[in-house]
Amino acid sequence: MNIDFEKSGGLVPAIVQDALTMQVLMLGYMNREALDKTIAEGKVTFFSRSKQRLWTKGEESGHFLFVDEILTDCDNDTILVKAFPQGPTCHTGSYSCFGNKLPKGFLYELENVIEQRIADKPENSYTSKLFSRGVNKVAQKVGEEAVELVIEAKDDNLVLFKNEAADLLYHFLILLKTKNLKLQDIEEVLVERHK
Protein backbone atom coordinates (compact mmCIF):
# COMPACT_ATOMS: atom_id res chain seq x y z
CA MET A 1 0.00 0.00 0.00
CA ASN A 2 1.26 3.39 -0.96
CA ILE A 3 -0.14 5.53 1.87
CA ASP A 4 0.77 9.23 1.83
CA PHE A 5 1.66 9.64 5.51
CA GLU A 6 3.58 12.87 4.88
CA LYS A 7 0.54 14.71 3.54
CA SER A 8 -0.85 15.12 7.06
CA GLY A 9 2.25 15.13 9.22
CA GLY A 10 2.84 11.39 9.53
CA LEU A 11 -0.64 10.33 10.65
CA VAL A 12 -3.60 9.31 8.51
CA PRO A 13 -7.19 8.65 9.57
CA ALA A 14 -8.03 4.96 9.89
CA ILE A 15 -11.71 4.09 9.78
CA VAL A 16 -12.64 0.69 11.19
CA GLN A 17 -15.72 -1.01 9.81
CA ASP A 18 -17.33 -4.29 10.91
CA ALA A 19 -16.47 -6.76 8.15
CA LEU A 20 -19.87 -8.43 8.40
CA THR A 21 -22.33 -5.65 9.12
CA MET A 22 -20.39 -2.84 7.42
CA GLN A 23 -21.17 -0.51 10.32
CA VAL A 24 -18.45 2.00 11.14
CA LEU A 25 -17.00 1.06 14.51
CA MET A 26 -14.46 3.76 15.21
CA LEU A 27 -11.96 6.23 13.85
CA GLY A 28 -8.32 6.28 14.87
CA TYR A 29 -5.03 7.40 13.40
CA MET A 30 -2.16 5.35 12.04
CA ASN A 31 1.41 6.14 11.25
CA ARG A 32 3.50 3.81 9.11
CA GLU A 33 4.61 1.78 12.14
CA ALA A 34 1.00 1.28 13.32
CA LEU A 35 -0.04 0.15 9.84
CA ASP A 36 2.90 -2.25 9.60
CA LYS A 37 2.07 -3.75 13.01
CA THR A 38 -1.61 -4.05 12.05
CA ILE A 39 -0.66 -5.95 8.90
CA ALA A 40 1.92 -8.15 10.65
CA GLU A 41 -0.20 -9.11 13.68
CA GLY A 42 -3.70 -9.01 12.18
CA LYS A 43 -4.99 -6.82 15.03
CA VAL A 44 -5.83 -3.17 14.48
CA THR A 45 -3.15 -0.93 15.96
CA PHE A 46 -3.29 2.85 16.04
CA PHE A 47 -0.93 5.64 16.98
CA SER A 48 -2.49 7.16 20.09
CA ARG A 49 -2.23 10.94 19.92
CA SER A 50 -2.91 11.26 23.65
CA LYS A 51 -0.43 8.55 24.75
CA GLN A 52 2.05 9.34 21.98
CA ARG A 53 2.68 5.66 21.32
CA LEU A 54 1.36 2.69 19.39
CA TRP A 55 -1.86 1.33 20.82
CA THR A 56 -3.47 -1.96 19.81
CA LYS A 57 -7.23 -1.78 20.20
CA GLY A 58 -8.14 -4.32 22.87
CA GLU A 59 -4.75 -4.47 24.56
CA GLU A 60 -6.41 -3.73 27.90
CA SER A 61 -10.04 -4.81 27.36
CA GLY A 62 -9.40 -7.89 25.25
CA HIS A 63 -11.83 -6.48 22.66
CA PHE A 64 -9.47 -6.77 19.72
CA LEU A 65 -10.36 -5.86 16.16
CA PHE A 66 -9.14 -8.70 13.93
CA VAL A 67 -8.29 -7.53 10.43
CA ASP A 68 -10.17 -8.90 7.47
CA GLU A 69 -9.14 -6.40 4.81
CA ILE A 70 -7.30 -3.07 4.55
CA LEU A 71 -8.16 -0.56 1.84
CA THR A 72 -7.12 2.99 1.00
CA ASP A 73 -9.11 5.83 -0.45
CA CYS A 74 -8.53 7.33 -3.89
CA ASP A 75 -6.06 9.91 -2.54
CA ASN A 76 -4.07 7.35 -0.54
CA ASP A 77 -4.44 9.44 2.62
CA THR A 78 -7.15 7.53 4.50
CA ILE A 79 -7.25 3.88 5.53
CA LEU A 80 -10.33 1.69 5.79
CA VAL A 81 -9.93 -1.43 7.90
CA LYS A 82 -12.63 -4.07 7.70
CA ALA A 83 -12.39 -6.05 10.90
CA PHE A 84 -14.08 -8.61 13.12
CA PRO A 85 -14.72 -7.03 16.54
CA GLN A 86 -14.30 -9.15 19.65
CA GLY A 87 -16.85 -7.52 21.89
CA PRO A 88 -17.76 -3.86 22.09
CA THR A 89 -15.50 -1.47 20.23
CA CYS A 90 -16.18 1.71 22.19
CA HIS A 91 -14.64 2.32 25.62
CA THR A 92 -18.19 3.06 26.83
CA GLY A 93 -19.18 -0.55 26.16
CA SER A 94 -21.07 0.24 22.95
CA TYR A 95 -20.79 -1.88 19.83
CA SER A 96 -19.60 1.21 17.95
CA CYS A 97 -18.16 4.57 18.95
CA PHE A 98 -21.02 6.00 16.91
CA GLY A 99 -23.76 4.33 18.94
CA ASN A 100 -24.82 0.94 20.16
CA LYS A 101 -27.39 0.18 17.52
CA LEU A 102 -26.45 -2.65 15.22
CA PRO A 103 -27.29 -2.17 11.58
CA LYS A 104 -30.50 -3.95 10.81
CA GLY A 105 -31.13 -5.88 7.66
CA PHE A 106 -34.57 -7.26 6.94
CA LEU A 107 -33.90 -10.47 8.89
CA TYR A 108 -33.34 -8.34 11.98
CA GLU A 109 -36.57 -6.48 11.32
CA LEU A 110 -38.38 -9.79 10.91
CA GLU A 111 -36.84 -10.99 14.17
CA ASN A 112 -38.30 -7.91 15.89
CA VAL A 113 -41.72 -8.56 14.35
CA ILE A 114 -41.61 -12.16 15.58
CA GLU A 115 -40.68 -11.01 19.09
CA GLN A 116 -43.51 -8.46 19.05
CA ARG A 117 -46.08 -11.01 17.91
CA ILE A 118 -44.97 -13.42 20.63
CA ALA A 119 -45.18 -10.68 23.25
CA ASP A 120 -48.52 -9.20 22.10
CA LYS A 121 -50.21 -12.54 21.25
CA PRO A 122 -52.58 -11.18 18.57
CA GLU A 123 -55.57 -13.45 18.09
CA ASN A 124 -54.84 -14.43 14.48
CA SER A 125 -51.04 -14.61 14.73
CA TYR A 126 -49.54 -17.81 13.32
CA THR A 127 -46.22 -16.86 14.93
CA SER A 128 -47.70 -16.48 18.40
CA LYS A 129 -49.68 -19.72 18.13
CA LEU A 130 -46.69 -21.72 16.93
CA PHE A 131 -44.44 -20.31 19.64
CA SER A 132 -47.00 -21.10 22.34
CA ARG A 133 -46.91 -24.78 21.33
CA GLY A 134 -43.33 -25.02 22.59
CA VAL A 135 -39.85 -25.81 21.37
CA ASN A 136 -40.65 -29.34 20.19
CA LYS A 137 -43.37 -28.16 17.81
CA VAL A 138 -41.26 -25.27 16.54
CA ALA A 139 -38.25 -27.58 16.02
CA GLN A 140 -40.49 -30.04 14.16
CA LYS A 141 -41.67 -27.23 11.88
CA VAL A 142 -38.07 -26.18 11.17
CA GLY A 143 -37.31 -29.80 10.25
CA GLU A 144 -40.30 -29.95 7.91
CA GLU A 145 -39.28 -26.71 6.21
CA ALA A 146 -35.68 -27.94 5.83
CA VAL A 147 -36.89 -31.13 4.14
CA GLU A 148 -39.14 -29.12 1.82
CA LEU A 149 -36.18 -26.89 0.90
CA VAL A 150 -34.04 -29.94 0.10
CA ILE A 151 -36.80 -31.36 -2.11
CA GLU A 152 -37.13 -28.06 -4.00
CA ALA A 153 -33.33 -27.86 -4.37
CA LYS A 154 -33.45 -30.99 -6.52
CA ASP A 155 -35.91 -29.38 -8.95
CA ASP A 156 -35.44 -26.44 -11.29
CA ASN A 157 -38.19 -24.15 -9.96
CA LEU A 158 -36.28 -21.27 -8.35
CA VAL A 159 -39.48 -19.54 -7.23
CA LEU A 160 -40.51 -22.54 -5.13
CA PHE A 161 -36.95 -22.97 -3.87
CA LYS A 162 -36.77 -19.33 -2.73
CA ASN A 163 -40.14 -19.59 -1.00
CA GLU A 164 -39.08 -22.71 0.90
CA ALA A 165 -35.80 -21.02 1.86
CA ALA A 166 -37.79 -18.05 3.19
CA ASP A 167 -40.06 -20.40 5.16
CA LEU A 168 -37.03 -22.10 6.69
CA LEU A 169 -35.44 -18.79 7.74
CA TYR A 170 -38.69 -17.55 9.23
CA HIS A 171 -39.23 -20.69 11.30
CA PHE A 172 -35.55 -20.74 12.28
CA LEU A 173 -35.98 -17.27 13.79
CA ILE A 174 -38.92 -18.54 15.84
CA LEU A 175 -36.81 -21.50 17.00
CA LEU A 176 -34.06 -19.12 18.10
CA LYS A 177 -36.64 -17.24 20.17
CA THR A 178 -37.67 -20.50 21.92
CA LYS A 179 -34.03 -20.83 23.01
CA ASN A 180 -33.81 -17.16 24.09
CA LEU A 181 -31.25 -16.52 21.35
CA LYS A 182 -31.00 -13.89 18.66
CA LEU A 183 -29.71 -13.92 15.11
CA GLN A 184 -26.71 -11.93 16.31
CA ASP A 185 -25.73 -14.82 18.60
CA ILE A 186 -25.47 -17.10 15.58
CA GLU A 187 -23.58 -14.47 13.59
CA GLU A 188 -21.02 -14.28 16.38
CA VAL A 189 -20.40 -18.03 16.09
CA LEU A 190 -19.90 -17.68 12.34
CA VAL A 191 -17.52 -14.76 12.82
CA GLU A 192 -15.47 -16.79 15.29
CA ARG A 193 -15.30 -19.70 12.84
CA HIS A 194 -14.25 -17.34 10.03
CA LYS A 195 -11.00 -16.36 11.76
Q: Report the alpha-carbon distance of residue 85 to residue 25 in Å, rounded.
A: 9
Please give the CATH number for the structural domain made up of 6-85: 3.10.20.810
Best CA proximity match to 195, nearest among 42, 55, 80, 63: 42
Q: Provide the pLDDT for residue 88.
A: 84
- Could you report the per-residue pLDDT of 81-133, keeping only the tens digit for each? 999 888 889 888 888 998 766 555 678 778 888 999 999 999 899 999 999 99
- 3-state secondary structure string, the chain? CCCCCHHHCCCEEEEEEECCCCCEEEEEEECHHHHHHHHHHCECEEEECCCCEEEECCCCCCCCEEEEEEEECCCCCCEEEEEEECCCCCCCCCCECCECCCCCCHHHHHHHHHHHHHHHCCCCCHHHHHHHCCHHHHHHHHHHHHHHHHHHHCCCCHHHHHHHHHHHHHHHHHHHHHCCCCHHHHHHHHHHHHC
Taking the domains of the chain in order of start, what are their residue ranges? 6-85, 106-194
Which pLDDT belongs to residue 110?
86
Supply the CATH classification number for the domain 106-194.
1.10.287.1080
Same fold, 6-85 and 106-194: no
pTM: 0.57
Region 60-68: mean pLDDT is: 92
Judge whether 136 and 174 are in contact, CB under 8 Å: no
